[in-house]
Structure 1
């Protein structure tokens, strides 16, 4: 058991005699319609130290730079115009809910050409559009790149991603989303993880705090709030009160397995029916040791290679069947599986086999 616990990371949710610990509604749900909006734009980064786009492979970079300079009154019609310190980029960001004109948001800048690095570059004024095609923000500023690269005549090294970076508070909101929350007579709460039990508990908690009939359960992921039934009330203040109501959430029994790292995560409600498990390893080993046969000096004959193969099959002795009693708790399940003394990858295979046999009563997720 000690060897398994050293090799395998098993994260266990803390067992409790009753329900899970209370959680605020603001951590379990969102207000329907109160969300951010994605923004995207196409811009140009200047000031790179020779790590920008090559105009031959990215002609749109030169065309865009020429257009910007012409709008500034600079004529660059000469064909020898071949800058190496500019790069074409995509600029992305999110307009937060209730973002007002003049506020600033963070943006991400990513190269789309063959630029080697955006380190030290400056993004030129770039309009950011939403899905409706309207410009909602304008981005500009110095880029903070997340990596570094170095190159010599015979080798090169790259650490991180130098072709992408961020500009904190790099975009200024120019247009607001037309959404007046203060005039809403009702709104809906949307659960992040839909569950009928959690939604019903949330409805009861809200009605106990504000009065019967304020909250109505619509489905496993939606609760309607009738603020008009409370009289003249500010919806924003009402949301602030509802968000801090504590609810005991319910979750499905789930086992999550990550093959890459050998991580196994089990929920508290995982149960296994009575099952017996046996596990062993079969190793097939083939070893080639060819021999060279050659004639004596000055003797007739040719040198030949004589193959010699040594094949063997080894089966490690198992521990027989290990029994996991029916309707075991989480600690019993872990103790029973660890009693097999298997390695992490084999433990994952055992869980898959138990699930295929119908003895694992939980959702089985493999990443």
Structure 2
């Protein structure tokens, strides 16, 4: 691929002027967020691919407690065979404003040494939040994308991950998470990318539409908005706000380098101070020319191979170019392309400019 074309692809998305975006895509309402839920349960009905009763003793203990809750009392000392049972963790994401009776997806992951959860069913499992309260109940048949098969001679094959499965709509919400949205007099918009310019422009756009004093920026990441008291009016009010268009502030000058692939992304505001750069490669060539040493007649010597080495040092493509004050991104790319620098060479040039204090941008190496 041509180097100029490679640089053009890397810079295409960052060289364009900023365009207006909806407030919905720039910020979220504080308190209106997802909540993580987690639970511990049992998957039953496995075809001998469950936990090993010798190593995963907690599976047998959990099964014993489960049966006791159902009124089944087992004599002490009985070793439960749990090859068809697996202890699992169940986690889900509870979306904002989820109401009791609605369903959410859950993910089920093996905690023991079960070989596969394929064909299993999750027994009723309470899902708790960080506060210890139960917000949903999960149960149902698992959908497992992985597959595992093993022969009697010990050979086996595994496709994807058979110890993790999902249950679409597998949990029923039992209680809603309280949010400040219905009763709050003021609500805060939190920006995805903190920026003073963007926060000021969001507040200005809201005040222009709904009147002065409706919104005010608190800092680079938050804008406070006065909301109606009626919850129904509040929904309509924020529906209008999130569809307002705002031109976000330009991001800070950055140069991002992927050291594994050699990809370099340069933002459009990068500037270079006066600097001179020399670009070239030092090549050291060593060639071996062994020679045969033949003794003179009657010298009673032996034939020997004498090593002969040829060492050559040369510098290829020695070029130097000068950056004037305030060099822009286009001029930087043009100069690098003119000397025929490869992506790896460009990384070295940028790192050298940063070390010399001539690169007015943040250099990030990932």
TM class, shorter-length: 0.7 to 0.9
Residue 215 of structure 1 corresponds to 215
Instruction: Give the superposition deviation at 1:223.
Output: 0.9
Residue 115 of structure 1 corresponds to 114
Unaligned runs of 5+ in 2: 289-304
- After TM superposition, the structure 1 stretch with the greater mean CA deviation from structure 2, 156-165 or 215-224, is 156-165
**Distance change (3 Å), C-alpha of 1:277 and 1:284:** same
Structure 1 length normalisation: TM-score?
Answer: 0.83
Instruction: Give the superposition deviation at 1:252.
Output: 1.5
Instruction: Give the superposition deviation at 1:48.
Output: 2.6
Residue 267 of structure 2 corresponds to 267
Larger Rg computed on CA atoms: 2
Instruction: Give the superposition deviation at 1:269.
Output: 1.8
Matched residues in 1 for 2:247 and 2:20: separation?
4
1:317 aligns with 2:316: yes
Unaligned runs of 5+ in 1: 289-305
1:256 aligns with 2:256: yes
Residue 343 of structure 2 corresponds to 344
- After TM superposition, the structure 1 stretch with the greater mean CA deviation from structure 2, 269-278 or 40-49, is 269-278
8 Å contact 2:107–2:167 — kept in the other structure? yes
Matches within 5 A, 1:264-343: 264-282=264-282, 317-343=316-342
Structure 2 length normalisation: TM-score?
Answer: 0.83
Matched residues in 2 for 1:311 and 1:124: separation?
77
- After TM superposition, the structure 1 stretch with the greater mean CA deviation from structure 2, 346-355 or 5-14, is 5-14
Matched residues in 2 for 1:320 and 1:207: separation?
56
Instruction: Give the superposition deviation at 1:111.
Output: 1.7
Instruction: Give the superposition deviation at 1:260.
Output: 2.4
Deviation string 1:174-207 (CA, Å, 9 cap, x unpaired) is 0112336333221111111111011011111110
Residue 36 of structure 2 corresponds to 38
1:13 aligns with 2:13: yes
- After TM superposition, the structure 1 stretch with the greater mean CA deviation from structure 2, 356-365 or 128-137, is 356-365
Matched residues in 1 for 2:308 and 2:164: separation?
54
Instruction: Give the superposition deviation at 1:20.
Output: 0.9
Instruction: Give the superposition deviation at 1:52.
Output: 2.1
Matched residues in 2 for 1:22 and 1:100: separation?
35
SS of structure 1 residue aligned to 2:236: helix
Matched residues in 2 for 1:341 and 1:87: separation?
60
Residue 225 of structure 1 corresponds to 225
Matches within 5 A, 1:1-367: 2-3=2-3, 5=5, 10-13=10-13, 15-16=15-16, 20-77=18-75, 79-152=78-151, 153=153, 155-179=155-179, 181-228=181-228, 234-250=233-249, 251-282=251-282, 317-367=316-366
Instruction: Give the superposition deviation at 1:226.
Output: 1.5
8 Å contact 1:278–1:318 — kept in the other structure? no
Instruction: Give the superposition deviation at 1:355.
Output: 1.8
Alignment root-mean-square deviation, CA: 3.3
Deviation string 1:24-67 (CA, Å, 9 cap, x unpaired) is 00101011111121111111122333332212121111211222
SS of structure 2 residue aligned to 1:336: helix
SS of structure 2 residue aligned to 1:177: coil
8 Å contact 2:185–2:226 — kept in the other structure? yes
Instruction: Give the superposition deviation at 1:310.
Output: 7.4
SS of structure 2 residue aligned to 1:320: strand
8 Å contact 1:55–1:61 — kept in the other structure? yes
- After TM superposition, the structure 1 stretch with the greater mean CA deviation from structure 2, 142-151 or 31-40, is 142-151
Matched residues in 1 for 2:100 and 2:27: separation?
27
SS of structure 2 residue aligned to 1:141: strand
- After TM superposition, the structure 1 stretch with the greater mean CA deviation from structure 2, 341-350 or 208-217, is 341-350
SS of structure 2 residue aligned to 1:321: strand
Instruction: Give the superposition deviation at 1:313.
Output: 7.3
